[in-house]
């Protein structure tokens, strides 16, 4: 998730841009830059660099950006590694652009523009938009707003753009599709930003821009239209949040904000990878030697390990390739037997987990190829691997992983479909059904996370429990483990995840009227058996919280509480069933008043043994 800010007024822009970007630092970024219109020189100067804002400020001492109109950006790399050249703003002729999001058809546009003579200086999708706007002006667009509008017709994907032109320095033009965009209103000066936090020090009077809208900002005013140019009106709002609250988007904790960001994160992880025309999946052009993959071994830690366990179900179900899953900390010391035909898949949100890194080294030493699935472009683990495939969850601030996990599950589904279509074990028709369910997930996820009031009430009822058992079968067993990990991590309540079929082999001794038992029981082949596990628990006065599929009118008779999730393909249901467990752990922890975003003893990335 990149940070965006624009200013147009009568004060020096650079200090305002840098101040705003500093407020966005918490989101994580790998490079930063500004473009400021210089009245004397008659053009805008772009100053940008890889690394932190301090480095940019150093560079600005040597190359000052003087002027009262400018745009600034902190980049979280998605396309194109972190580097000076890939930093924003990007310039093409008189046009400067900053961007948050992913241009899905960037490759096709790049080819089209190169064919028209455009020369590119970066690997980014963003630079393409600068060339599009420049070409629209050359082709006769009468002003910047029209040039941006015409360029938007060509672009597919998620974006928030802010555009500036040396030929029209009294104007900033911004446009929104999926990525956040807000306008700040001042007296003879106005602001554009990706987040209220960036401009709260300057103004509390804001206008939130909606999907499919663009806005022309001058010193004297703001004009909003849709992408076709039809005017839109919007009443300004007064922000009452503190700046700390604003950083969390008005949520109480980053973790809650990130739970609610999951529909967007999943949608972003799907962008450019789902090929509905051919009922196939592209792994960003990655071509694995599928015919010669005899076995896949997932290695990971913690939540990423649970994602890998779900991956095992998905890959074996769809591609019929044998899969093993190993804790990275175990794999690296068990002298694993590896050979040609083994593909090791290392899963890591941070891309910096030492156990996983060392496990990769062990795998490579034994001649295996390694695919990394990570959320941080160019982090150590993808750089160490032979191949890399990224989730696009954006920076995850909360120590307890949520949106990284669900986007990892999406990445597993994409990998499994990609492999299954190439081993021939996944039919075109089944792939089509799965892809349709995949792209429908974000709206179904939104249904669940927005229904959190019921979960909050359940959490309040069990907040004082001394323990909790999570049960699931099949691909829901890793979800039971993940639910237990979430509760442990942030509420410090002891919790265990168990394969439901294991109940009678021991854990049933734990059951009494004081123990809440969360049972994940979506419709599917193991539903009846899971219901019988519920009956075992109920017969011993255990308190049951069931996670069930919409339309299930039976499970209520076996449960004290039922949390419903929408129906979807069985293989994808873990992406929905985990959501209530994240919310349950969050609200229990909130009830207990623990430090949810930074729980005791935990680090966001475990870079030590
Ligand atoms: C999950 O909530 C924890 N923060 C932890 O288990 C984490 O998943 C684990 O440390 C692995 O981290 P990684 O995905 O960055 O490698």
Please state whether beta strands 213-217 and 172-177 pair in parallel, antiparallel, or not at all (unpaired): antiparallel
Q: How far is the CA of 401 from the centre of ligand 1 (A)?
A: 7
Q: Round the average pLDDT of the chain to a whole number and report it.
A: 94
Ligand 1 center to 479 CA (angstroms): 15
Residue 386: other Cβ atoms inside 10 A? 14
Whether 399 lines ligand 1, by a CB cut-off of 6 Å, is yes
**How many other C-beta atoms can be found within 10 angstroms of the C-beta atom of residue 538?**
17
Please determine, for residue 99, whether its predicted confidence score (pLDDT) is greater than 80. yes
Catalytic residues: 2, 604
Ordered by where they begin, the domains of the chain are 3-244 (3.60.20.10), 247-449 (3.40.50.10490), 453-592 (3.40.50.10490)
What φ, ψ does residue 592 adopt, rounded to 5°?
-85, -15
Per-residue tokens: 571: 């293989």
From start to end of 271-339, where are the E strands?
274-275, 280-281, 295-300, 323-327
Task: Give, for ligand 1, the residue of 262, 300, 302 to mutate: max count of ligand atoms closer than 8 Å to Cβ.
Answer: 302
pLDDT at 13: 98
What confidence category does residue 244 fall into, taking pLDDT thresholds of 50, 70 and 90? Answer: confident
Mean per-residue pLDDT, 320-336: 96
Pocket flag, ligand 1, residue 47 (CB < 6 Å): no
Contacts (Cβ under 8 Å, ≥6 apart) of 279: 421, 428, 429, 431, 432, 435
User: What are the respective helix, strand and coil percentages of the chain, to the nearest 5?
Assistant: 40, 25, 35
Tokens of 513: 């009227």
CB count within 10 Å of CB 26 equals 16
Least confident range from 162-171, 313-322, 485-494, 596-605: namely 596-605
pLDDT of 447-472, one tens digit each? 999 988 999 999 999 988 999 999 99
Average pLDDT over residues 499-521: 94
Out of 401, 484, 581, 596, give the residue to mutate to test ligand 1, the one with the largest number of ligand atoms within 8 Å of its CB.
401
In three-state secondary structure terms, 401 is: coil
Is residue 604's pLDDT more than 90?
A: no
Task: Name the band, by pLDDT with cuts 50, 70 and 90, for residue 380.
Answer: confident
Give, for ligand 1, the residue of 255, 258, 304, 407 to mutate: max count of ligand atoms closer than 8 Å to Cβ: 304
> 353 CB less than 6 Å from ligand 1?
yes
- Residue-level pLDDT at 568: 97
Work out the average pLDDT over 311-338. 97
Nearest CA to ligand 1 atom 9: 302
Q: What is the rounded CA–CA span in Å between residue 325 and residue 346?
A: 10
pLDDT(367) > 80: yes
In sequence order, what are the residues at sequence separation of 6 or more whose Cβ sits closer than 8 angstroms to the Cβ of residue 413?
A: 314, 434, 438, 571, 572, 575
- Ligand 1: residue of 259, 299, 301 to mutate (most ligand atoms within 8 A of CB) is 301
Beta-carbon contacts of 287 under 8 Å, excluding residues fewer than 6 positions away, are none
State whether the beta carbon of 96 lies less than 6 angstroms from ligand 1. Answer: no
The reported pLDDT for the residue numbered 287 is: 84
Per-residue model confidence (pLDDT) at position 353 = 92
The answer to whether residue 243 scores a pLDDT higher than 90 is no
Structure tokens at 26: 């918490």
The C-alpha atoms of residue 96 and residue 44 are separated, in whole angstroms, by 8
Q: What is the pLDDT of residue 96?
A: 98
Instruction: Let me know: does 123 contact 80? Beta carbons within 8 Å.
Output: yes
The region of weakest confidence among 61-70, 236-245, 432-441, 529-538 is 236-245
Query: How crowded is residue 121: how many other Cβ atoms within 10 Å of its Cβ?
Result: 11
Instruction: Provide the percentage of residues in the chain whose pLDDT is more than 70.
Output: 100
Name the strand (E) or helix (H) holding 501. none
Q: Is the pLDDT of residue 560 over 90?
A: yes
Higher per-residue confidence, 372 vs 249: 372
Q: Whose CA is nearest to atom 4 of ligand 1?
A: 400
Ligand 1 atom closest to the Cα of residue 303 is: 8
Which atom of ligand 1 lies nearest, measured to the CA of 401?
A: 2
pLDDT at 378: 77
Is 349 a pocket residue for ligand 1 (Cβ < 6 Å)?
yes
Say yes or no to pLDDT of 103 above 80.
Answer: yes
pLDDT value of residue 494: 96
Ligand 1: centre distance to CA 400 (Å): 8
Q: Tokens 């080819």 identify what position?
A: 111
Q: Which atom of ligand 1 is nearest to the CA of 604?
A: 4
Helix axes 302-319, 476-491, angle to 10 degrees: 170
Q: Which is the closest atom of ligand 1 to the Cα of 606?
A: 10
Q: Could you tell me the pLDDT band of residue 92, with boundaries at 50, 70 and 90?
A: very high
Q: Which residue has the higher pLDDT, 101 or 244?
A: 101
Cβ of residue 301 lying under 6 Å from some atom of ligand 1: yes
pTM equals 0.82
Answer for the pair 521, 528: CB distance below 8 angstroms, yes or no.
no
Return the structure tokens found at 208: 């939130």
Distance CA 25, CA 247 (A): 10
Residue 559 to residue 545: CA distance in whole angstroms: 6
- pLDDT at site 484: 98
Convert the pLDDT of each residue in 341-364 to its tens digit: 999 999 999 998 989 999 999 999
Round to whole Å and give the CA distance between 208 and 101: 17
Cα(302) to centroid of ligand 1, in Å? Answer: 5
Give CA–CA dist 114/423, Å, rounded.
36
466 vs 277: CA distance, rounded Å: 52
- Please state, as a whole number, how many other Cβ atoms lie within 10 Å of the Cβ of residue 535: 10
What DSSP designation does 210 have? Answer: P
Of 116-120, 232-236, 298-302, which one has max mean pLDDT? 298-302
User: Which residue, among 472, 502, 479, has the nearest Cα to 309 in the 3D structure?
Assistant: 479
Q: Whose CA is nearest to atom 7 of ligand 1?
A: 302
First vs last C-alpha separation in the chain: 30
How would you classify residue 212: left for phi > 0, otherwise alpha for psi between -120 and 50, otherwise beta? left
Q: How far is residue 332's CA from residue 52's CA, in Å, rounded to a whole number? A: 34
pLDDT of residue 236: 93
**Would you say the CB of residue 350 lies under 6 angstroms from ligand 1?**
yes
Rg over alpha carbons for the chain, rounded to the nearest Å, is 25
Pick the closest to residue 449 from 314, 204, 276, 258 (CA basis).
Answer: 258
Question: What is the band of 65 on the pLDDT scale with cuts at 50, 70, 90?
Answer: very high
**pLDDT mean over 551-566:** 94
What are the backbone angles phi and psi of residue 47, rounded to the nearest 5°?
-125, 120
How confident is residue 598, by pLDDT bands cut at 50, 70 and 90? Answer: confident
Mean local confidence (pLDDT), 238-264: 87
Burial tier of 37 (Cβ tally within 10 Å: 0-12, 13-18, 19+): buried
How much distance in Å is there from the Cα of 304 to the middle of ligand 1? Answer: 6
Q: How far apart are CA 92 and CA 494, in angstroms?
A: 57
How many whole angstroms from 255 Cα to the centroid of ligand 1?
14
Lowest mean pLDDT among 406-410, 463-467, 497-501: 463-467
Dist. CA 146–CA 173, nearest whole Å: 10
pLDDT at residue 469 in the model = 97
In this structure, the number of other CB atoms found within 10 A of the CB of residue 505 comes to 9
Closest by Cα among 144, 45, 126, 39 to 88:
126
What residue's CA is closest to ligand 1, atom 16?
Answer: 348
User: Dihedral, CA atoms, 501, 502, 507, 509, nearest 10 degrees?
Assistant: 70
Residue 439 confidence (pLDDT) above 80: yes
The gap from C-alpha 434 to its chain's centroid, in whole angstroms, comes to 21
């Amino acid at each position: 998730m990149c940070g965006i800010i624009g200013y147009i007024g009568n004060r020096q822009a650079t200090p305002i841009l840098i101040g705003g970007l500093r407020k966005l630092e918490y989101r994580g970024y790998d490079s930063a830059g500004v473009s400021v219109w210089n009245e004397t020189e008659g053009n805008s100067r772009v100053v940008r660099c890889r690394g932190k804002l301090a480095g940019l400020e150093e560079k600005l001492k040597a190359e000052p950006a003087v002027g009262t109109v400018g745009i600034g950006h902190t980049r979280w790399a998605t396309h194109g590694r972190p580097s000076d050249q890939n930093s924003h703003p990007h310039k093409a002729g008189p046009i400067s652009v900053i961007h948050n999001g992913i241009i899905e058809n960037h490759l096709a546009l790049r080819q089209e523009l190169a064919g028209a003579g455009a020369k590119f200086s970066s690997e980014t999708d963003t630079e393409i938009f600068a060339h599009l706007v420049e070409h629209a002006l050359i082709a006769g667009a009468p002003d910047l707003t029209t040039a941006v509008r015409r360029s938007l017709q060509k672009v597919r994907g998620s974006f928030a753009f802010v555009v500036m032109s040396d030929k029209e320095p009294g104007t900033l033009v911004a446009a929104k599709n999926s990525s956040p965009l807000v306008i700040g209103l001042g007296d003879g000066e106005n602001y554009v930003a990706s987040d209220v936090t960036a401009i709260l020090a300057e103004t509390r009077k804001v206008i939130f821009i909606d999907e499919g809208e663009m806005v022309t900002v001058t010193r004297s005013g703001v004009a909003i239209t849709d992408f076709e140019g039809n005017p839109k009106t919007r009443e300004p709002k007064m922000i009452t949040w503190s700046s700390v609250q604003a950083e969390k988007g008005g949520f109480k904790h980053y973790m809650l904000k990130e739970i609610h960001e999951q529909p967007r994160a999943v949608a972003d992880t799907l962008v450019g990878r789902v090929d509905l025309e051919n009922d196939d999946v592209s792994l960003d052009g990655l071509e694995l030697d599928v015919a010669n993959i005899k076995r896949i071994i997932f290695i990971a830690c913690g939540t990423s390990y649970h994602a890998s366990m779900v991956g095992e179900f998905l890959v074996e179900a769809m591609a019929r390739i044998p899969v093993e899953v190993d804790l990275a900390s175990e794999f690296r010391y068990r002298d694993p037997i590896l050979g040609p035909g083994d593909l090791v898949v290392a899963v890591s949100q941070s891309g910096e987990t030492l156990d996983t890194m060392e496990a990769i080294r062990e795998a490579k030493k034994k001649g295996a190829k390694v695919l990394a699935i990570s959320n941080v472009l160019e982090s150590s683990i993808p750089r160490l691997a032979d191949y890399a495939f990224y989730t696009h969850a954006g920076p995850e601030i909360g120590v307890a992983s949520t949106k990284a996990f669900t986007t990892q599950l999406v990445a597993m589904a994409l990998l499994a479909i990609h492999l299954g279509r190439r081993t021939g074990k996944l039919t075109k028709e089944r792939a089509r059904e799965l892809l349709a369910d995949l792209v429908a997930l974000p709206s179904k996820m939104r249904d669940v996370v927005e229904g959190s009031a019921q979960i909050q009430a359940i959490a309040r009822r069990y907040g004082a429990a001394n323990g909790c058992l999570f049960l699931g079968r099949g691909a829901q067993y890793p979800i039971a483990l993940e639910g237990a990990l979430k509760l442990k991590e942030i509420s410090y309540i002891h919790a265990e995840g168990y394969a439901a079929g294991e109940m009678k082999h021991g854990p049933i001794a734990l059951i009494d009227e004081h123990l809440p038992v969360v049972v994940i029981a979506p419709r599917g082949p193991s539903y009846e058996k899971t219901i019988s596990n519920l009956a075992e628990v109920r017969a011993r006065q255990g308190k049951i919280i069931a996670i069930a599929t919409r339309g299930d009118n039976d499970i209520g008779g076996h449960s004290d509480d039922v949390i419903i999730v929408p129906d979807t393909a069985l293989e994808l249901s873990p992406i929905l069933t985990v959501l209530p467990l994240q919310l349950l752990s969050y609200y229990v922890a909130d009830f207990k008043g623990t430090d949810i975003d930074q729980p005791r003893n935990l680090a966001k990335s475990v870079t030590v043994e």
